[in-house]
Amino acid sequence: MPFIHQLFVYEDIAVMRFASREQGFIVAKDNPKRILDFPDLTKRDVQFINRQKGAGTRFLLDSMLFNYGINPSRINGYGRVEWTHLSAASHINRGIADVTFGIQSAASHLGLDFVPVAQEKFDLVFRFTAENKQNLLAIIHFLQSSGFRESLTDVDGYSIQDLGKMIYQTGQLEELV
C-alpha cells in the first residue's frame, strides 16, 4: 500500500484483493537437510537454486535475507538461477540442488516437500478516469460475482478467500465500488 499511496497521489483508485499464495522452501521428500529457516541456507552442505532478478519471489527472498542479516554470498548456489518455479523445483527433484525458494504448487506438482514461510498477496489496482469508470466498475462487479468465484479451481498453495475484497479506495469511489 505505501507504493500505491506514492504512485497515485491525486487519482481515483481502488485496490481489490485477488488471491494469495504460499511462498517457502521447496525441498526433497522428508527434507533430508532439515531446512526450516533462512539461516539453514548457509549450511556448507546445502546447495541452493535461485530465481532470476526481477521475479517477485527473488525480491521476497532477498528481503528476507536482508531482514535476517544474511549476505547472499554465504549461500552456495545463490548465483544459479532459473526462470520459473517449476524449473527451479525440478533441480530439487533431480538431486542437483537441495532447496529453492518458491511456491507450494511447484513442490506439490513434483511430489516434493514444502516449508511455508510467507503469504504473498496479489492485488488489482484500478485507476479510474472519466473514460474508463463504467468499464472498470463492470470488471469489478464481475470479479466479485459468485459465478466468477465458482469458476476458479483450487491450486495447492493458492487462496481466493479474500477475492473481491476492496482493501483501499478513494473517498469518491466508496459509494460506487
Q: What is the CATH number of the domain that holds 119?
A: 3.40.190.10
130 within some domain? yes
User: Residue 109: which of 90, 83, 82 has the closest Cα?
Assistant: 90
174 within some domain? no
18 within some domain? yes
6 within some domain? no
Number of domains the chain is built from = 1
67 within some domain? yes
Per-residue pLDDT, 156: 87
Segments forming the whole domain that contains residue 121: 13-169
Q: Would you say 90 and 100 are in contact if contact means Cβ atoms under 8 Å apart?
A: no
Q: What angle do CA 5, 6, 11 make, to 5 degrees?
A: 65
Burial class (CB in 10 A: 0-12, 13-18, 19+), 112: buried
8 within some domain? no
d(CA 34, CA 118): 18
5 within some domain? no
pLDDT by 10s per residue, the chain, length 177: 888 888 888 888 999 999 999 999 999 999 999 999 999 999 999 999 999 999 999 999 999 999 999 999 999 999 999 999 999 999 999 999 999 999 999 999 999 999 999 999 999 999 998 899 999 999 999 999 999 998 988 888 999 999 999 998 886 666 666
2 within some domain? no
